Structures are given as structure tokens and as C-alpha cells.
Amino acid sequence: MATIKDVARRAGVSVGTVSHVINNTASVREETKDRVLSAIKELNYHPNSVARSLQSRRTNTISLVLPAIEHSLGEPSYLLQLLAGISDECKRHGFDLLVSAASSDEERLTIYQRIVRGKRADGCIITSTKKDDERIAYLIKEDIPFVAFGRANDEWDFPYVDVDGEAGVRQGVRYLLDLGHRRIGFIGLPSELMCSQHRLAGYRSALEEQGIELEPNLIVEGKTTKEGGYYAMKRLLKLNPDLTAVMVSSDLMALGAMEAVREAGLSVGKDISVVGFDDIQMAASYQPPLTTIRQPTYRIGVMLSRMLIQLINGEELDERRVILQPELIVRESCGRREETTLSQGKARER
């Protein structure tokens, strides 16, 4: 295996000159650079990435700490799309991805602190943000490059990529309103998550546009799992026997809600219309297929990596706060109110 000394000997230059060409750390005459590059190609020389990172104090590694249980991890395809986007972009730029998992907020913060103190990564990606997120506050204080998937405290200046959850839910509720529904429930994510606040705001604004009074008993909160959606829907039906539709803040929760509807002797799409959020893989294959709000998960992963690598390289970002627009995907879990009311009445008579 060729060494840097072999390259220097073949090109007739010093080892230092070869290093400058490889790392672009000093000006080298074009003729000399061409000789070095030709020698590298002829000898099939591959620079020692470990030695290079030690010299530059870089690890060429990005850190991502995921919670063991959260809405983005509840369905494997969602997580895989996000990770694929992040890792593919890392690969394109010669970076490795260090993925860790934690079972609590405290543990996640501890892991980031350990990674930063040990200089194990050049930058970090944050997911599932909260308003006063301790991880974000810590990384800002330590002046560590990072990008978040989600917003937090408006007073903090940090780069993020997010989906306009308010606009997405507003689309979903407007669709239900256009179908003639007026008794529309809402199942929200845990309130400490920033995205839960945005999605609830979308529900509120869609009803206000139609002059429909907001009823607190039409809003329930659930855990970010299929089971969480199931129990939230049972509560919603108990509080509102005349419910005809529900907007659910995640697809996984929506699938649980659909099970609760069926268990109550009702039909999804005929008696109760259901709209989810995310467009996970199971949404299209479920019975009936779920109408949902699609967010571009893979693209989000790519953007997070790309922005972070730019920051690590000392480059200015074209845009530090990126808000992506979601898309309404219409499937078979929704029906018109006239059909719903008739079918629902017969089902409840039984």
C-alpha cells in the first residue's frame, strides 16, 4: 500500500508539499500540484483519514441522538426515511453518522454533553424539539454547530428545518369541512412538543375561518403511539357521541384511532372520517387507506445534513430557518357528512 512518502518520491517533492496539495492548506504551483495528483493516481494512494482528522482536529462525524420512544420513531419507515436522508448526504460529503438512542430527555442531554466534551463529532442534529429545549440551549452555549428538525424558543437564533404543521392540519380540517363535517374532533401530540402546538393551531384556525366555535371537549391529547391514538379516540367518542370526523396529529395515532372506531361498531370513512399526519408507509396499505398530510421526510434528512456540514465547514447558510409545506393526500378514510350521518345513525341504532 502506497504511503505519502512514496507519493512525494514519485512526484519529486517534499512530504509537506504533498500534504498541502491533499489538504489545500497552502498555495502550490499548478505544475507541482499536477505532478502530485498524477503520482497519487498512479500509486492509487488513499490519504489516512484518521491522521488528517487529527491534524485538522476534525472527526468528519455528525451526531444524532434519538429518543427510544417518540412520534418519529413509532413507525419504522418514518425513521428509516429520515435516517436515509441524513446518512446519504453525510456519505456524499465524506462524513460518518454517529447514532445514539436515549430513553429520557435527561439522558439525551447527557449523551450530547458527552459527545461534545469528548470531541467525538463535529456537529449535532436535534429532533423532536421543545420550546425551551435544554439540548439546544446547551449547544448554543458551547458554540457547537448543530441543526434542529423543529422549532423552539423564538428568542433563540439557531438553524432548523421544519414542516408547517399548522398549515398541514388546516388543510386536513378544511378538507373535512368541505365534505360537510362540523363535529370534528382533534387528537393532539403531547403538548411539550413544539410541533403539537403548531398542529393544534391549524385545527383552531380552520374552524375559526368557518365561524365554528371551538369546543374544548372535541380536543384530546394522546401518547405518540398507535395505542395512544386508540385510547384518545375512545375518550373522544365517549365525550362526543355525535362526532363525525377527527383530525389526528400523527398517522400512527390515527391507525389506533381507526381501531377504536371499529371497536365501537362504526365504520371508518362512512361513520367517522379520519385524517392523519406524516404519510407513513402503513398509511397507504391500511384498510381503509388513510387520508393524511404528507411531510417530505427523506428530503428533511438531506437538508439537515447539508446545512450542518456547511456550518462545520465554516460556510454561510443561504437560509437558517427553513419551513417546508406539507401536502394533503386523499385516500378512503373520509366520506361526506350526508353519507356519514345516515350510516352512523343506523350503526348506533344497532
* CA-closest candidate to residue 272, choices 184, 177, 178: 184
Q: How many domains does the chain have?
A: 3
In this structure, the answer to whether residues 20 and 101 fall within a common structural domain is: no
Q: Measured between alpha carbons, how far is 149 from 303 in angstroms, rounded to an integer?
A: 10
272 and 228 in a common domain: yes
Supply the CATH number for residue 143's domain: 3.40.50.2300
Residue 149 sits at φ, ψ, to 5 deg, of -95, 90
Q: Quick: pLDDT tens for 129-163.
A: 999 999 999 999 999 999 999 999 999 999 999 99
Q: Which helix (H) or strand (E) holds 216?
A: none
The last residue of a domain, from among 56, 74, 97? 56
**Based on the domain organization, do 157 and 142 belong to the same domain?**
yes
pLDDT at site 336:
93
Burial of 121 (0-12, 13-18, 19+ CB in 10 A): buried
Are 134 and 52 found together in one domain?
A: no
Mark whether 33 and 137 lie in a shared domain: no
Residue-level pLDDT at 251 = 95
- For residues 178 and 80, membership in a common domain is answered with no
CB 75 within 8 A of CB 284: no
Residues 247, 273, single domain; the answer is yes
pTM of the model: 0.80
The domain spanning residue 14 has which CATH number? 1.10.260.40
Answer yes or no: do 214 and 107 share one domain: no
Question: Are 213 and 344 contained in the same domain?
Answer: yes
- The three-state secondary structure class of 225 is coil
Confidence of residue 297 (pLDDT cuts 50, 70, 90): very high
| Host H or E run for residue 66 | strand 61-67
Q: What is the 3-state secondary structure (H, E, C) of 239-250?
A: HCCCCCEEEECC
Of 300, 229, 295, give the one whose Cα is nearest residue 268.
229
Of 56, 82, 97, which residue is a domain's last? Answer: 56
* Residue pointed to by grid coordinates 424558543: 153
- Rounded to an integer, what distance in angstroms lies between the CA atom of residue 181 and that of residue 183? 6
- Please report how the helices 251-263 and 226-239 are oriented relative to each other, as an axis angle in degrees rounded to 10: 50
Per-residue pLDDT tens for 25-48? 567 888 998 898 899 889 888 765
**Same domain for 32 and 65?**
no
Relative to beta strand 321-324, strand 96-102 is unpaired
